[in-house]
Amino acid sequence: MIIIMLGAQGTGKGTVAGIVSKETGLPQVSTGDIFRKNISEKTELGIAADKYISSGNLVPDEITVPMVKDRLTWEDAKNGVILDGFPRTIEQAEKLDKMLEEMGQKVDLVVNLVTPREEIIDRMLTRRVCTNQDCKTTYNIKLSPPKVEGICDKCGSQLKQREDDSDPEAINRRLEIYEEKTSPLVEYYDKKGVLSTEKVSVSINRMGIDVANDLIEKLR
Ligand code: ADP
Ligand code: ZN
Protein backbone atom coordinates (compact mmCIF):
# COMPACT_ATOMS: atom_id res chain seq x y z
CA MET A 1 0.00 0.00 0.00
CA ILE A 2 1.49 3.29 -1.11
CA ILE A 3 -0.06 6.29 0.64
CA ILE A 4 0.93 9.88 -0.10
CA MET A 5 0.34 12.73 2.31
CA LEU A 6 -0.30 15.93 0.44
CA GLY A 7 -0.89 19.39 1.86
CA ALA A 8 0.84 22.68 2.51
CA GLN A 9 3.30 23.28 5.32
CA GLY A 10 1.74 23.28 8.75
CA THR A 11 -1.36 21.28 7.83
CA GLY A 12 -0.20 18.38 9.97
CA LYS A 13 0.97 15.99 7.23
CA GLY A 14 3.82 14.67 9.34
CA THR A 15 1.63 14.22 12.40
CA VAL A 16 -1.00 12.27 10.47
CA ALA A 17 1.65 10.18 8.72
CA GLY A 18 3.33 9.39 12.05
CA ILE A 19 0.14 8.20 13.74
CA VAL A 20 -1.00 6.13 10.76
CA SER A 21 2.48 4.64 10.43
CA LYS A 22 2.46 3.48 14.04
CA GLU A 23 -0.95 1.85 13.67
CA THR A 24 -0.44 0.20 10.30
CA GLY A 25 3.27 -0.62 10.47
CA LEU A 26 3.82 1.09 7.12
CA PRO A 27 6.99 3.19 7.51
CA GLN A 28 6.68 6.97 7.30
CA VAL A 29 9.05 8.20 4.63
CA SER A 30 9.49 11.93 5.15
CA THR A 31 11.93 13.49 2.72
CA GLY A 32 12.26 16.55 4.99
CA ASP A 33 13.19 14.31 7.94
CA ILE A 34 15.71 12.36 5.88
CA PHE A 35 17.31 15.64 4.76
CA ARG A 36 17.41 17.05 8.30
CA LYS A 37 18.97 13.84 9.65
CA ASN A 38 21.64 14.01 6.95
CA ILE A 39 22.25 17.69 7.67
CA SER A 40 22.73 17.05 11.38
CA GLU A 41 25.10 14.18 10.59
CA LYS A 42 26.92 16.33 8.02
CA THR A 43 26.76 13.64 5.34
CA GLU A 44 27.52 14.46 1.73
CA LEU A 45 23.80 14.41 0.95
CA GLY A 46 23.11 16.69 3.92
CA ILE A 47 25.74 19.19 2.89
CA ALA A 48 24.38 19.25 -0.66
CA ALA A 49 20.78 19.74 0.49
CA ASP A 50 21.36 22.24 3.29
CA LYS A 51 21.60 25.45 1.27
CA TYR A 52 18.31 24.78 -0.50
CA ILE A 53 16.45 23.85 2.65
CA SER A 54 17.59 26.72 4.87
CA SER A 55 16.48 29.22 2.23
CA GLY A 56 13.13 27.46 1.75
CA ASN A 57 13.81 26.21 -1.76
CA LEU A 58 13.26 22.70 -3.13
CA VAL A 59 16.21 20.34 -3.20
CA PRO A 60 16.93 19.38 -6.84
CA ASP A 61 15.52 16.11 -8.18
CA GLU A 62 19.02 14.74 -8.85
CA ILE A 63 19.43 14.54 -5.09
CA THR A 64 15.85 13.89 -3.97
CA VAL A 65 14.61 11.27 -6.43
CA PRO A 66 17.44 8.70 -6.02
CA MET A 67 17.17 9.14 -2.26
CA VAL A 68 13.48 8.18 -2.32
CA LYS A 69 14.08 5.39 -4.80
CA ASP A 70 16.67 3.88 -2.50
CA ARG A 71 14.40 4.22 0.54
CA LEU A 72 11.63 2.28 -1.23
CA THR A 73 13.92 -0.74 -1.58
CA TRP A 74 14.46 -1.12 2.18
CA GLU A 75 13.14 -4.29 3.77
CA ASP A 76 10.62 -2.40 5.94
CA ALA A 77 9.02 -0.91 2.81
CA LYS A 78 8.10 -4.20 1.21
CA ASN A 79 4.41 -3.82 2.14
CA GLY A 80 4.38 -0.16 1.19
CA VAL A 81 5.09 3.23 2.74
CA ILE A 82 3.49 6.48 3.76
CA LEU A 83 5.19 9.20 1.76
CA ASP A 84 5.32 12.54 3.55
CA GLY A 85 6.81 15.42 1.58
CA PHE A 86 7.28 13.56 -1.68
CA PRO A 87 6.27 14.03 -4.46
CA ARG A 88 6.22 17.81 -4.44
CA THR A 89 6.09 18.54 -8.16
CA ILE A 90 4.36 16.98 -11.18
CA GLU A 91 7.79 15.85 -12.34
CA GLN A 92 8.45 14.05 -9.09
CA ALA A 93 5.00 12.46 -9.27
CA GLU A 94 5.73 11.15 -12.75
CA LYS A 95 9.10 9.83 -11.62
CA LEU A 96 7.43 8.16 -8.66
CA ASP A 97 4.84 6.50 -10.90
CA LYS A 98 7.65 5.12 -13.02
CA MET A 99 9.60 3.89 -10.01
CA LEU A 100 6.55 2.17 -8.57
CA GLU A 101 5.63 0.62 -11.89
CA GLU A 102 9.08 -0.96 -12.07
CA MET A 103 8.44 -2.39 -8.61
CA GLY A 104 5.00 -3.69 -9.58
CA GLN A 105 3.28 -1.16 -7.33
CA LYS A 106 1.21 2.00 -7.65
CA VAL A 107 -0.07 4.91 -5.62
CA ASP A 108 -3.11 3.62 -3.74
CA LEU A 109 -4.24 6.65 -1.77
CA VAL A 110 -3.42 10.36 -1.62
CA VAL A 111 -4.60 12.20 1.47
CA ASN A 112 -4.79 15.91 0.77
CA LEU A 113 -4.86 18.07 3.90
CA VAL A 114 -6.30 21.54 3.55
CA THR A 115 -6.00 24.26 6.21
CA PRO A 116 -6.85 27.99 6.00
CA ARG A 117 -3.80 30.15 5.23
CA GLU A 118 -3.90 32.23 8.46
CA GLU A 119 -3.86 29.07 10.52
CA ILE A 120 -1.01 27.61 8.49
CA ILE A 121 1.38 30.49 9.16
CA ASP A 122 0.47 30.51 12.82
CA ARG A 123 1.07 26.78 13.05
CA MET A 124 4.46 27.03 11.39
CA LEU A 125 5.58 29.74 13.82
CA THR A 126 4.41 27.75 16.85
CA ARG A 127 5.79 24.38 15.69
CA ARG A 128 8.64 22.84 17.70
CA VAL A 129 10.50 19.62 16.93
CA CYS A 130 12.45 17.21 19.07
CA THR A 131 16.19 17.52 18.40
CA ASN A 132 16.68 13.76 18.83
CA GLN A 133 16.78 12.63 15.20
CA ASP A 134 15.50 9.17 16.09
CA CYS A 135 12.45 10.71 17.79
CA LYS A 136 11.76 14.00 15.99
CA THR A 137 8.29 14.30 17.51
CA THR A 138 6.55 17.51 16.53
CA TYR A 139 4.79 19.77 19.03
CA ASN A 140 2.86 22.98 18.78
CA ILE A 141 3.30 25.38 21.66
CA LYS A 142 -0.36 26.44 21.37
CA LEU A 143 -2.21 23.37 20.09
CA SER A 144 -0.21 20.43 21.42
CA PRO A 145 2.43 21.67 23.87
CA PRO A 146 4.84 19.31 25.64
CA LYS A 147 4.25 18.67 29.36
CA VAL A 148 7.46 20.52 30.25
CA GLU A 149 8.29 23.57 28.17
CA GLY A 150 11.09 22.94 25.68
CA ILE A 151 11.42 19.23 26.51
CA CYS A 152 10.18 16.26 24.49
CA ASP A 153 7.55 14.18 26.35
CA LYS A 154 8.71 11.00 24.68
CA CYS A 155 12.48 11.07 25.01
CA GLY A 156 13.41 14.05 27.20
CA SER A 157 15.51 15.75 24.53
CA GLN A 158 15.37 19.47 23.86
CA LEU A 159 12.82 20.89 21.47
CA LYS A 160 13.73 23.52 18.95
CA GLN A 161 12.23 25.58 16.20
CA ARG A 162 13.23 24.52 12.71
CA GLU A 163 15.47 27.07 11.04
CA ASP A 164 13.12 27.38 8.06
CA ASP A 165 10.13 27.86 10.42
CA SER A 166 11.70 30.84 12.18
CA ASP A 167 12.50 32.78 9.03
CA PRO A 168 9.45 34.59 7.59
CA GLU A 169 11.11 34.77 4.19
CA ALA A 170 11.69 31.02 4.11
CA ILE A 171 8.10 30.44 5.25
CA ASN A 172 6.72 32.60 2.48
CA ARG A 173 8.93 31.03 -0.13
CA ARG A 174 7.85 27.54 0.91
CA LEU A 175 4.18 28.49 0.74
CA GLU A 176 4.67 30.09 -2.67
CA ILE A 177 6.46 27.01 -3.97
CA TYR A 178 3.65 24.89 -2.56
CA GLU A 179 1.03 26.89 -4.46
CA GLU A 180 2.99 26.96 -7.68
CA LYS A 181 4.63 23.56 -7.84
CA THR A 182 2.92 21.20 -5.42
CA SER A 183 -0.76 22.13 -5.53
CA PRO A 184 -1.12 20.91 -9.17
CA LEU A 185 -0.68 17.41 -7.70
CA VAL A 186 -4.20 17.65 -6.31
CA GLU A 187 -5.62 17.53 -9.82
CA TYR A 188 -3.01 15.00 -10.95
CA TYR A 189 -4.12 12.48 -8.32
CA ASP A 190 -7.79 13.39 -8.50
CA LYS A 191 -7.74 12.37 -12.16
CA LYS A 192 -6.28 9.03 -11.15
CA GLY A 193 -9.17 8.57 -8.73
CA VAL A 194 -7.00 8.15 -5.63
CA LEU A 195 -7.47 11.54 -3.96
CA SER A 196 -9.14 12.09 -0.61
CA THR A 197 -9.31 15.72 0.56
CA GLU A 198 -9.56 16.42 4.30
CA LYS A 199 -10.03 19.79 5.93
CA VAL A 200 -8.00 20.34 9.08
CA SER A 201 -8.86 23.45 11.05
CA VAL A 202 -9.55 24.66 14.57
CA SER A 203 -12.64 26.38 13.12
CA ILE A 204 -14.33 23.01 12.61
CA ASN A 205 -12.53 21.40 15.54
CA ARG A 206 -10.90 18.85 13.27
CA MET A 207 -7.20 18.26 13.75
CA GLY A 208 -4.60 15.90 12.34
CA ILE A 209 -5.35 13.27 14.95
CA ASP A 210 -8.99 13.11 13.79
CA VAL A 211 -7.97 12.64 10.16
CA ALA A 212 -5.47 9.98 11.25
CA ASN A 213 -8.08 8.04 13.23
CA ASP A 214 -10.53 8.07 10.32
CA LEU A 215 -7.80 6.92 8.00
CA ILE A 216 -6.77 4.06 10.28
CA GLU A 217 -10.42 2.98 10.45
CA LYS A 218 -10.68 3.09 6.67
CA LEU A 219 -7.52 1.04 6.20
CA ARG A 220 -8.58 -1.69 8.61
P1 ADP B 1 7.77 21.70 5.05
O2 ADP B 1 6.87 21.01 4.08
O3 ADP B 1 7.08 22.06 6.33
O4 ADP B 1 8.50 22.86 4.46
P5 ADP B 1 9.49 19.33 5.01
O6 ADP B 1 10.10 18.73 6.21
O7 ADP B 1 8.53 18.51 4.25
O8 ADP B 1 8.89 20.70 5.53
O9 ADP B 1 10.64 19.79 4.01
C10 ADP B 1 11.64 20.66 4.41
C11 ADP B 1 12.46 21.08 3.22
O12 ADP B 1 13.09 19.93 2.64
C13 ADP B 1 11.67 21.71 2.08
O14 ADP B 1 11.46 23.08 2.26
C15 ADP B 1 12.60 21.41 0.89
O16 ADP B 1 13.68 22.30 0.88
C17 ADP B 1 13.15 20.04 1.23
N18 ADP B 1 12.31 18.96 0.63
C19 ADP B 1 11.53 18.07 1.29
N20 ADP B 1 10.93 17.23 0.43
C21 ADP B 1 11.33 17.59 -0.82
C22 ADP B 1 11.03 17.14 -2.13
N23 ADP B 1 10.16 16.13 -2.35
N24 ADP B 1 11.64 17.77 -3.18
C25 ADP B 1 12.50 18.79 -2.96
N26 ADP B 1 12.80 19.27 -1.77
C27 ADP B 1 12.23 18.70 -0.68
ZN1 ZN C 1 11.90 13.25 21.42
Å from CA of 136 to ligand 2 middle: 5
pLDDT of residue 181 exceeding 90, the answer is yes
Which domain, by its residues, includes 97?
Answer: 2-116+167-219
Query: Which CATH number characterizes residue 54's domain?
Result: 3.40.50.300
pLDDT of residue 52 exceeding 90, the answer is yes
Question: Is position 204 within any domain?
Answer: yes
Q: How many domains does the chain have?
A: 1
pLDDT of residue 213 exceeding 90, the answer is yes
**Which pLDDT belongs to residue 141?**
95
Q: Which residues are part of the catalytic machinery?
A: 13, 88, 127, 162, 173
What DSSP assignment string belongs to 108-166?
EEEEEEE--HHHHHHHHHTEEEES-TTT--EEETTTB--SSTTB-TTT-PBEE--HHHH
Which residues neighbour ligand 2 (ion) by CB within 5 Å?
A: 130, 132, 135, 137, 152, 154-155, 157
- Round the average pLDDT of the chain to a whole number and report it: 95
| pLDDT one-digit tens code per residue, 113-159 | 999 988 999 999 999 999 998 898 999 999 899 999 999 999 999 99
Q: 163 to each of 56, 63, 69, 171, 216, how far by Cα in Å?
A: 10, 21, 27, 10, 32
Å from CA of 87 to ligand 1 middle: 10
Any atom of ligand 1 within 6 Å of the Cβ of 182: no
**Which pLDDT belongs to residue 147?**
98
**Which pLDDT belongs to residue 4?**
98
Any atom of ligand 1 within 6 Å of the Cβ of 178: no
Confidence of residue 220 (pLDDT cuts 50, 70, 90): confident
Other Cβ atoms closer than 10 A to 41 = 10
Q: Hey, what amino acid is at 34?
A: I
Å from CA of 56 to ligand 2 middle: 24
Which residues, 6 or more positions from 209, have their beta carbon under 8 angstroms from its beta carbon?
A: 15, 16, 19
Question: Is position 125 within any domain?
Answer: no
Q: Distance between CA 205 and CA 215 in Å, rounded?
A: 17
Question: Is position 126 within any domain?
Answer: no
**Which pLDDT belongs to residue 123?**
92
Question: Is position 41 within any domain?
Answer: yes
Question: Is position 158 within any domain?
Answer: no
Give the bridge partners for 82, in sequence order.
3, 28
Question: Is position 145 within any domain?
Answer: no
Closest-approaching ligand to the CA atom of 120: 1
Question: Is position 89 within any domain?
Answer: yes
Any atom of ligand 1 within 6 Å of the Cβ of 121: no
**DSSP run (H or E) holding 18:** helix 13-24
Question: Is position 9 within any domain?
Answer: yes
Between 220 and 77, residue with greater pLDDT: 77
